[in-house]
Amino acid sequence: MENKLHRDSLIERRLHMEQNVEWWEKLTLAQKFSASSLAKYGYELSYIRNSSSGSLAVMMQDQNISTIAEDGDIDTNPNIHIR
């Protein structure tokens, strides 16, 4: 039973990493620089929201949310709701 739980957690981590790589490739160069800065504080790229005004990278660290605009501007107090 313990082996199965360990294997399942490794699979889940691998899938999460693959998904992050896919999202990372969709970031602009400016967003990548800003995301790297936030990653030093424990933030992880959660998803990218695309709209008519451009892409918005959403990063999370525990319950903290930050967004990164296409031009690399970081908003550490965004008006965004996570479902």
82: in domain = no
Within a domain: 83:
no
Per-residue model confidence as pLDDT tens digits over 15-52:
444 456 777 888 999 999 999 999 999 999 988 988 88
**Tokens 């008519």 -> residue:** 52
Predicted confidence (pLDDT) at residue 5 exceeds the cutoff of 80: no
pLDDT > 90 fraction of the chain, expressed in percent and rounded: 51
At 1, list the tokens.
């039973």
**Into how many domains does the chain fold?**
1
Decide: pTM greater than 0.85.
no
> 37 in a domain, yes or no?
yes
Write down the pLDDT at residue 12: 45
What whole-number distance in Å separates Cα of residue 3 and Cα of residue 50? 40
Residue 80, domain member (yes or no):
no
- Which residue range is the domain that position 62 belongs to? 2-75
Gap between the Cα atoms of 10 and 29, Å rounded: 30
Give a yes or no: residue 10 inside a domain: yes
